[in-house]
Structure 1
Amino acid sequence: MASSAYYYPVVLLGLALVFKIPGLIRARHDPLVRSVAVVMLLGSSVFASAAPPSIAGVNSLTGIPNVASPLVYSLMSAFSGSCIILLITWRGGPAEQRRRATRQCVIVYGGVAVALWLLFAAGDAPVERLRDLDTYYATTPYMREMICLYLIAHTVAAFVMTSLCWRWSRSVHGLLRAGLILLVIAYLLNLAYDACKITAVVARWSGHDLDHLSTWAAPPLAAVSSLFQSSGFILPLAGQRLIGLRRTWARYRALEPLWKALRGTLPRRPVRIAWWASVELRLLQRESEIHDGVLALDPYFDPALRLAASAGASSDGAPPEQASAIGTAAMVTAALQARAEDPDGDIVSSARTYQPDTSAGLGDLAAVSAALRPARPPKAARLSVFGRSGVFPR
């Protein structure tokens, strides 16, 4: 694999990490978000450090031949452990059980990283090898053990992740299942990478030369695997975010008729927000203005009209929730008409204040907004807008 190809996964993982920075800042106390960031950071670090130019640079900077090898292998071990920790956090379960599994993973792969450095320090590797260190030093004492240790740790992690992701994917659906399937493919490619490396090393032990498996076949498998890994981890999280944004935007648009109807009743001019403001902030402002408008219309609301309109909608076959929304919309329409016919504000505020039914949250307001345009007060209720003494009948 060309040296430049090592940096493609670095760029992709780096861009994914950059896009995650806003979410990481907002949810910096969320262990799942932190775990995703750590996985992407370590994944990009592995490929950045494993590129032959990077290896040569580290060796030259330190003046120690092949010192980059335990660095790369330690990062690979840390990356393997972080993937398992991410899956543990992602899957959930009892908090104490998750903490215990996380501690065990940190201890095991942290111990592997320490052992790799100790074995390198005990070994003798005077000839710099940028691409074929695994096979060149496959029979060298201590270097041999270092190479075997990182391959075993990587293989175990790939096997565990393949098994866990496959079993979990059979019990979930949607984007989560799609992400897990991508992870299964990624770790099967990791196992193929390990198989190539181990076969080449074992061939050296028996006096055969299968170095091409380690030098030329394994690296492309790792590169493709990283793409599936990053996609598998990001797809469910990004997909959930997109679904959430779509729902928020749909609610924002659904409230538009009600918001426009009540906009003229606001006691003060709405605060303008920046054009780049998030849709969540826009929705919050729209809901706040709707509630302010409802309070301004309170003296003009007629609950009896609302009940009559709801009953009429029910008799026409509307479901209970829709009938209630139609009744509320009819009451809002009549109240807006009454307010328009009372420019001097002669109607006094009633002691009984109308409280909109918000027990179902935004859904109720969205349903009222959807029913507002076609809503009309019942014919009997429209015969008189004002009651005695100029007070709207309560």
Structure 2
Amino acid sequence: MPESAVPESAVPESAVPESAVPAVNDPQGLGFYLPGCVLLLATLLKLPALRRNPRDELLRAVCVLLALATAVFAFTAIPSLVAVNRMTGVPNAAAPLVYSLITAFSGANIVLILHWSRGPADVDGERTRRRARLCAAITVAVIVAINTLFVLGDAPVERLRDLDTYYANTPFIRETILLYLTAHTTAAVTMTVLCWGWAREVRGALRAGLALIVVGYVLNLCYDVAKFAAVGARWAGRDWDVLAVEVAPALASVSALLIAAGFVLPLVAEPVVSRWRMWRRYRRLRPLHEELRGATERSIDLSAGGGWVPIEIRLTQRESDIHDGILTVNPYLQAELRDRALRRELADGRPAEEAAAVADAAALVSAVVRWERAGTEATPSAGPDAVLTSPSSPQGLVRMSLALSRSATVRSFRRSALEERSPAR
């Protein structure tokens, strides 16, 4: 295309071909490839779950979103722009490609929102699927419009970083820029509102991840504001290109890192937190396990596996040993003794759950002493729940174990049981 085809208003008087000045501060594209790699990692971390659940529409939407975000940063880097322009032989051919990817990413955001906001009224998900298909159709239409407008316009001078402002007054190119920025802004606003509302309803790693995503999309909005401001300044005859060339790309890079971290954090943190909780429960059950060690004859020795034995197996074995031990000493559990301990704890103002755990622990230590005095020859009764209430839940077992090591009431009941035992000797 001849350079004279560019409207005079599109090119400022001081403009020279970008290749003539050292305008590229990131020639290797690390500012874009780095967040792109993080997003690619997030995508790869999600793929195993998608393979296990290929029909999960929400998971599929997340994977598409992350893949498109990866592509956006891969093709927005300066080396990628140059490569596309050289391969096609068309100056700025990379621009509609990048705009199309950004628009597709924006549409993927909205599809993800639709699946997240699926209400109980949409039991079979058909209503959500219809809306997602409509969103996809609109996104495709916008992408077609972007490419059509770009073809109709004239952009003969290759601009690797400031195309948005350089051609801000060029017919059809101007509309292309406004169209992709509007689509991006709409998606960013919607995602910010949805994720903020959801973050207030959940806890833990998911809430932290959503908070990161919200901050990321707020920065996306700042990116759009910077771009719109720079384009608007060109319309007013001013030069605010620094907003589009320096500020906006920096915001986009940080935004992508935060969004990727927000998606990855629950995926990585939840298993870590789950295992940490299992280790904590395993350690807290130690006093109860030690108390019943003598009454547990069929315990599996896990010491041969050393540190390689998974915590899931360790915890399951410890809880199984505890239940077996309670079953063994069950004939010596006394409901009257437990009731006495419970009344004492409640009278001291102890919360009901803690008081029950202390009462169970007091009854248990007394039963263990009596079982040992009997010479371990008693036959167990039907089950351990006749007297104790704590063994009915994992949390109850933990409270009971903590009471064994901390409660003065439990210690006093142990002393009483031992004093009863002494004359028999």
**Which bracket does the TM-score occupy, shorter chain normalised?**
0.7 to 0.9
Cα distance in 2 for partners of 1:183, 1:380 equals 59
Given that 1:31 and 1:89 are in contact with CA atoms closer than 8 Å, whether structure 2 keeps it comes out as yes
Distance 1:380 1:169, change over 3 A: closer
Cα distance in 1 for partners of 2:284, 2:369 equals 22
Distance 1:175 1:271, change over 3 A: closer
Distance 1:219 1:348, change over 3 A: closer
- Identity of aligned pairs, percent? 45
- Superposed CA deviations along residues 175-219 of structure 1, whole A, max 9, x for unmatched, are 877766655554443333223333444555677655444333321
2:420 maps to which of 371, 383, 387: 383
2:219 maps to which of 170, 189, 196: 189
**Aligned twin of 2:281:** 251
- Superposed CA deviations along residues 246-282 of structure 1, whole A, max 9, x for unmatched, are 5444333322211233344141424566736665554
1:365, distance to aligned residue in structure 2 (A)? 0.8
1:76 maps to which of 96, 102, 117: 102
State whether structure 2 residue 175 is matched by structure 1 residue 149: no
TM superposition score normalised by structure 1:
0.75
**Aligned twin of 1:43:** 69
Cα distance in 2 for partners of 1:118, 1:58 equals 18
1:58 maps to which of 62, 84, 106: 84
- Superposed CA deviations along residues 278-310 of structure 1, whole A, max 9, x for unmatched, are 655543443233223333444444444434443
1:371, distance to aligned residue in structure 2 (A)? 1.7
1:369, distance to aligned residue in structure 2 (A)? 0.7
**Aligned twin of 1:390:** none
Given that 2:373 and 2:421 are in contact with CA atoms closer than 8 Å, whether structure 1 keeps it comes out as no
**Aligned twin of 1:217:** 247
1:294 maps to which of 319, 322, 326: 326
Distance 1:92 1:252, change over 3 A: farther
Cα distance in 2 for partners of 1:294, 1:62 equals 77
Distance 1:383 1:153, change over 3 A: same
Given that 1:270 and 1:289 are in contact with CA atoms closer than 8 Å, whether structure 2 keeps it comes out as no
Cα distance in 1 for partners of 2:341, 2:365 equals 11
Of 274-283 and 64-73, deviating more is 274-283
Cα distance in 1 for partners of 2:289, 2:109 equals 47
Of 191-200 and 73-82, deviating more is 191-200
Cα distance in 1 for partners of 2:177, 2:111 equals 24
Cα distance in 2 for partners of 1:218, 1:82 equals 21
Cα distance in 2 for partners of 1:313, 1:216 equals 67
Of 328-337 and 61-70, deviating more is 61-70
Distance 1:208 1:312, change over 3 A: closer
**Aligned twin of 1:267:** 298
Cα distance in 2 for partners of 1:26, 1:320 equals 44
**Paired amino acid for 2:400:** V
Cα distance in 2 for partners of 1:221, 1:261 equals 59
**Aligned twin of 1:113:** 143
Which of the pair has the greater relative contact order for Cα pairs under 8 Å at 6+ separation?
2
Secondary structure, aligned partner of 1:48: helix
Cα distance in 1 for partners of 2:309, 2:105 equals 36
1:9, distance to aligned residue in structure 2 (A)? 2.0
State whether structure 2 residue 164 is matched by structure 1 residue 134: yes
**Paired amino acid for 1:42:** L
Cα distance in 2 for partners of 1:361, 1:110 equals 53
TM superposition score normalised by structure 2:
0.70
Of 164-173 and 363-372, deviating more is 164-173
Given that 1:309 and 1:377 are in contact with CA atoms closer than 8 Å, whether structure 2 keeps it comes out as no
Cα distance in 2 for partners of 1:30, 1:358 equals 39
2:342 maps to which of 272, 297, 310: 310
Secondary structure, aligned partner of 1:383: helix
Q: Which runs of 5+ in 1 are unaligned?
A: 388-394
**Aligned twin of 2:401:** 369
Distance 1:127 1:31, change over 3 A: same
Distance 1:220 1:336, change over 3 A: same
Aligned CA RMSD, in angstroms, stands at 4.3
